Structure 1
């Protein structure tokens, strides 16, 4: 029987480009040359008789065929990788040493981590202390999930960073508080809860909502997002917060977004690794899983 499927080399290259949006970043992830990735994708497209990517000066995007190919093959290729790792190391668990910004770890990662453990029981995760002033020189961490603190922030040259979640913010409060909010102006009648490191988030959100905050003070500030979310859950007022942080609260109905106004801060959380890091299967499996979790649909209680 003639083999109809693309080769694993071609699929790995294709899926890496699809994940990263770049031939260069895909080559870095796969620890091969960019030319090797380009040749593999070219062979795949020649075999398919159609393009799987559209090329632009800013990167690449999946064609309709490419999106369908990714949907049909990504999970199977990951399964083959996991099987190979497990069979190759029958008596050895892969170890991943991870450092995660505190609030994202508690509010977003931890509720999802059992899914990774179920899919990859051969990977042991060890959490390392998160450092607010991280310089990425420590040797006890394989992978970081860190926050971009300003639009102008540049990651160190030795670090490859890829956006994960957290650019979008929206307003949230309890259903009881939301009962008194019918429009943006009603927001000003409620205490405004804010992240003390980013009080400007309220101005960003207000600009998107068409609301003038001039002369209106913020109410209560918190140095950790997790504490601000707890305050919103307790009915202390309205918070503007990264949507990813309250996804489960919105789904469960503990919090609602009464206006459903979303705004982008341009910052967010990034998966970071050392460029010079040798092939690290546990990091690769975890990074791929993280991106899947970030792309999962949000089922939020947003009043339309």
Structure 2
């Protein structure tokens, strides 16, 4: 890493002069005087301790070093421009930043997102998914809706529902003998040891098989016919309604608790209220546990 960087204005002046092949045209493009462009390039050449242009009267051409620096400078300025433009998303007047897990976003929220957008086209929703619960104080998040979240400072906490888990597989897998079905293992409550302790029912689960840290991938694998899995009643609603999952037992066991955190700066926002009301309506309509 360089300890000292050449001034950005000097790099902009160099890029324009190199691209246009003229100090005069560069000055016009950047709304500067030609002498200002010349001074910027001289200072840059002094910093680099080598010439960047061949000068012949009013015409200029790049040295080998100049050609090399031009490609680097153009890439740098382009990346900077994109980065600055990207910052606009943080200041949109109707933006609502919602954090959740990849599994909830993919299996519950995404299938319903069209309905939300039709009802609230004025809301510029930014769905921010992370594997770990966010720090609401240090991150720009209005609301976090997750199954692994606890109360945090400067936020209101509300428990939404108690999820239930049940064993399931793709209907086609029912034709395979029980002992030959692959067991899909998850983490936390979705580990089969949880089922065995709380339900005590043998559905053909085995200690070995395929293992998943993401409950969304676990559900995808079950829907794809890879094996039997302990799935979330909340997340599996769409898959079960679509005929991709068949329960293996009537029992269900306790699952994770879903809750949300709302940052105090967003709590009174009409955007936040609209999203929260919509989520509650959807959960009620689904008959969620």
TM-score tier after normalising by the smaller chain length: 0.5 to 0.7
Q: Conserved in 2, the CA contact under 8 Å of 1:205 and 1:261?
A: no
Q: Conserved in 2, the CA contact under 8 Å of 1:173 and 1:235?
A: yes
Q: Conserved in 2, the CA contact under 8 Å of 1:166 and 1:242?
A: no
The number of residue pairs the alignment matches comes to 196
Distance 2:280 2:230 in 1: 24
Q: Conserved in 2, the CA contact under 8 Å of 1:96 and 1:126?
A: yes
Distance 1:250 1:127 in 2: 25
SS in structure 1 at match of 2:127: strand
Q: Conserved in 1, the CA contact under 8 Å of 2:190 and 2:230?
A: no
Alignment of 1:118-197 (within 5 A): 118-130=118-130, 132-148=132-148, 154-165=150-161, 167-179=163-175, 186=178, 190-195=181-186, 197=187
Matched, 1:263 2:258: no
Match of 1:18 in 2: none
Under a length normalisation based on structure 1, what TM-score does the superposition of the two structures give?
A: 0.57
Q: Conserved in 1, the CA contact under 8 Å of 2:143 and 2:272?
A: yes
SS in structure 1 at match of 2:132: coil
How much has 1:285 moved relative to structure 2? 0.7
Q: Deviations over 1:202-240 (max 9, x none)?
A: 223233433369x95142111212211221122111010
> Structure 1's 174 and 157: CA in aligned 2 closer, same or farther, altered over 3 A?
same
Q: Deviations over 1:235-267 (max 9, x none)?
A: 1110101111111111110111132321113x2
Matched, 1:225 2:215: yes
What's the C-alpha RMSD, in Å, of the aligned pairs? 2.8
Distance 1:127 1:179 in 2: 39
Q: Which has the larger radius of gyration?
A: 2
Match of 2:261 in 1: 272
Matched, 1:254 2:254: no
Q: Deviations over 1:54-101 (max 9, x none)?
A: xxxxxxxxxxxxxxxxxxxxxxxxxxxxxxxxxxxxxx9632111121
SS in structure 1 at match of 2:220: helix
> Structure 1's 105 and 166: CA in aligned 2 closer, same or farther, altered over 3 A?
farther
Q: Conserved in 2, the CA contact under 8 Å of 1:222 and 1:228?
A: yes
Q: Deviations over 1:121-147 (max 9, x none)?
A: 221212235251522223421111122
Distance 2:169 2:206 in 1: 19
After superposing the two structures, state which structure 1 stretch, 96-105 or 137-146, moved more: 137-146
In structure 1, runs of 5+ residues without a counterpart are: 1-91, 300-304
Match of 1:286 in 2: 275
> Structure 1's 228 and 161: CA in aligned 2 closer, same or farther, altered over 3 A?
same
How much has 1:165 moved relative to structure 2? 4.6
Q: Conserved in 2, the CA contact under 8 Å of 1:144 and 1:271?
A: yes
In structure 2, runs of 5+ residues without a counterpart are: 1-91
How much has 1:166 moved relative to structure 2? 6.0
Match of 1:236 in 2: 226
